[in-house]
Structure 1
Amino acid sequence: LPAINRGEPDKRSEWTVLPQGMRNSPTLCQLYVDAALQPLRKIMPHTVIYHYMDDILFSQSDVFTEDQIGIIKATLAQHSLVVAPEKIQRSRPWKYLGWTITEQRVRPHKLLSNIKISTLYEAQKLLGDLQWLKPVTGIPNTLLYTLQPLLKGTDPCTQVNVTPEQEKAL
């Protein structure tokens, strides 16, 4: 922290949380979690460890023992990363970053079942889901451009009118 009128050397400080709104905050999070995972990668070489931001997936051919889970928790705790007990998944299907993972397939959590739109909120929700599914399903941008006029407005309760062209796109 800077000293008043440069009257003394600046004091060092350490963040306990990542600053919100900084452009490099996601990068800092990735680097910090990666540094915390490095010891685990060394002591568990046959375990696949994926991480994105604060979501971490540990996978191995054998079931994790309580000792292994304890080691994982303790190692992460040394870096002030706490694992919530409800986030530990012990049986399939496993859920990670919006995907459901089974032994046979990987599929998105959400599958669109209701595409009726009557309010701005429903239009926003549907287009958000379509945007999220676009890379997997191959939905073309032109289809989304057709639906974007539905997003005009600020009140979520505003009624929207779906044109025949938009209905066809849906």
Structure 2
Amino acid sequence: MPIYAIVADIPGWALKHRVKGTEIRYLNGQYYLYRVTSKYDPAIKRSRKITLEYLGKITPDGLLRPKAVRVMDELQYITNREYGASSFILSECSDTIDLLKTHFPDEWKEIAVCSIMRLDVLKSDLYDHGEESRGEGPGLPGSAFFSVIHRTASFLMACLNDFLYSPGVI
């Protein structure tokens, strides 16, 4: 059973975080802040406190928000600097992607992504190591990709025939 502190026992550095709609709980020697509300319960003819969410741990240095919230806040600042290259590849390979959609209606996305990632790794290796690069691969589990190829071998042959014998292919 949790032990809650009486408001008079809570130090000032912790009390400054208590605003309307929040509650400070003292558990295992630590102070925690929760968002709370109340709702009238006709069965007992009085209001019940409802704890909505955990807001963080209160320390003398301030409120330490939950790790999940901190991580999500940090993820907001991630940018994708490779969009131009991916967009160019997708626009230039739209006819090939259409062939993949025709012959691999369920797996075309995985095949396209693996191909683009392989191309991206080759580009990165050439940039980093020059012409001596061999391109080791994107570090993806190859077994998943090859199991798709194994299951759809006849579709793969039809797709390759369409690609090789389509107009504009040298």
Report the TM-score, using the length of structure 2 for normalisation.
Answer: 0.22
Query: Of Structure 1 and Structure 2, which has the larger fraction of its residues in helix?
Result: 2
Q: If you compute each CA radius of gyration, which structure gives the higher value, 1 or 2?
A: 2
Report the TM-score, using the length of structure 1 for normalisation.
Answer: 0.22
Query: Of Structure 1 and Structure 2, which has the larger fraction of its residues in strand?
Result: 2
